[in-house]
Amino acid sequence: MLSHGRRPETTPLSISVDRSDPGRPLIRVGGDLAYTSAGPLRTEIDRLLATAPTTVVLDFGDLEFIDSTGLGVIVHAWRAGQQTGTGLRLRAVPRFLNTILDMTGVTGLLARPIALD
């Protein structure tokens, strides 16, 4: 018996980082980006932002699920990037994530230019 609102299975989060362009590192995210799995991605984003690249690219081509914690990691990456002058770009965004980003207003947030003091 399945409980309403719960997913019966989860796919582990996979993260790979391509640093071949130090000014534009790429993080590929796959599987489930959720409360129980979001920590390593946030840690990796913070590690990359500490090097102050021009842009951090998040590739969601293999993403299967995201919850509010995962969405919070995307917003965190944008906010932290604003403080360091690093832009955030999303690529290979699945339709379900596009819908969530639009519904929550995150699409508009990500479209804002970098605000440097």
**pLDDT > 80? residue 23:** yes
Which domains does the chain possess?
A: 17-106 (3.30.750.24)
Cβ neighbors of 44 (< 8 A, separation 6 or more) are 15, 17, 27
Burial class of residue 60, CB neighbours in 10 A (0-12, 13-18, 19+): buried
> Quick one: pLDDT at residue 3?
45
Name the H helices within the chain.
Answer: 38-49, 68-84, 95-104, 106-110
49: nearest Cα among 20, 16, 25: 25
pLDDT range class, residue 77, cuts 50, 70, 90: very high
pLDDT range class, residue 1, cuts 50, 70, 90: very low
> Quick one: pLDDT at residue 112?
76
Q: How large is the average pLDDT for residues 80-104?
A: 94
pLDDT range class, residue 44, cuts 50, 70, 90: very high
Cβ neighbors of 54 (< 8 A, separation 6 or more) are 23, 24, 86, 87
Q: How large is the average pLDDT for residues 17-23?
A: 95
Q: What is the CA radius of gyration of the chain?
A: 14
pTM: 0.88
